[in-house]
Amino acid sequence: MLMAICRQNSVSRPSVSATSKRTNRPGRPARQTGSPDRRDVILDAAEALFAKQGFHGVTVREVTSKAEVDVALAYYYFANKMDLFDAVLRRRADIVNQERIELLQTAEAAPGEDLLERLIAAFIDPLFKHLATGDEGWRNYFALIAQVNNSSEWGGEVMTRFFEPVVKQLVTELRLALPDAEDDDLYWAYQFLSGALTLTLAATGRVERLSGGLCRSDDYTAVQSRLPRFIAAGFRQLHADRLEAKRKDGK
């Protein structure tokens, strides 16, 4: 079931190899044999610009200028700016979602008292694994995700399209870890997890200033060792409060 969810999350689009087989039309730039994958060059440039300036603050021409390609090439690969934006989000979302699913499978297969912590770790670890490499592309991507997730204009719709199947699978696994939990408590607790996670991904430098340099936004080991336990404690407390309320009501 988990693998089927991952397949459903991928949107079918022509591959780069498929586009390279198209017959060149008037006004369409020809691809040069042996040249770098210019589609990825465009995506990298768009990712960096969107992360810093947001969707509305970037034009396709600015993207192609940064990528050092003709603007016609962007429209060869992408129908419009929104199509380009979606491609930027999809490219790494597919990787992260697959990794999350594999880790959730591992956590699910070995239940124990720390199942909650392991499920939350399975959800966050792929992100920090990529950030720990220092790769600029992954840093830009997660900064963009943090920005999108906090957008009242379209964050809910965009995050739903790219991440909802895996989030729903996480909630399903959390029900196994807390079988008597109420769904509203689970979803509120996930909301708080999502907020803490995306604030961390935003790497605003706020924690450095607050702590006088004691804590760093890029200390991913510190985050990974603390966040699962912090969030799991919140899940358990909400669950305990609900059970206590039911006891008092005599239910």
| DSSP for 176-217, written as a single string | HHSTT--HHHHHHHHHHHHHHHHHHHH--SHHHHHHTTSS-T
Could you tell me the pTM of the whole model?
0.81
Q: What is the pLDDT of residues 168-225, one digit of tens each?
A: 999 999 998 998 899 999 999 999 999 999 999 998 999 999 999 999 999 999 999 9
* Dist. CA 13–CA 16, nearest whole Å: 9
Nearest by Cα to 89 from 133, 46, 128: 46
Residue 174 · residue 181 · CB < 8 Å:
yes
Closest CA relative to residue 129, chosen from 115, 120, 139: 139
- Model confidence at 244: pLDDT above 90: no
Is the predicted pLDDT of residue 11 greater than 70, yes or no?
Answer: no
CATH homologous superfamily, domain 89-249: Tetracycline Repressor, domain 2 (1.10.357.10)
pLDDT of residue 179: 87
Mean model confidence pLDDT for the chain = 85
C-alpha–C-alpha distance, residues 98 and 102, integer Å? 6
pLDDT, position 110 = 79
- 116-157 per-position pLDDT tens digit: 999 999 999 999 999 999 999 999 999 999 999 998 888 899
Task: Give the CATH number of domain 37-78.
Answer: 1.10.10.60
Equal CATH topology for 37-78 and 89-249: no
Domain ranges of the chain: 37-78, 89-249
Cβ neighbours of 65 (radius 10 Å): 13
Asked whether residue 59 carries a pLDDT value surpassing 90, the answer given is: yes
Separation of alpha carbons 155 and 145, rounded Å: 9
Sole residue written with tokens 């790497």: 203
Helices 81-109, 2-9: axis angle to 10 degrees equals 170
The per-residue pLDDT for 197 is: 94
Report how far Cα 178 is from the mean position of its chain's Cα atoms. Answer: 25
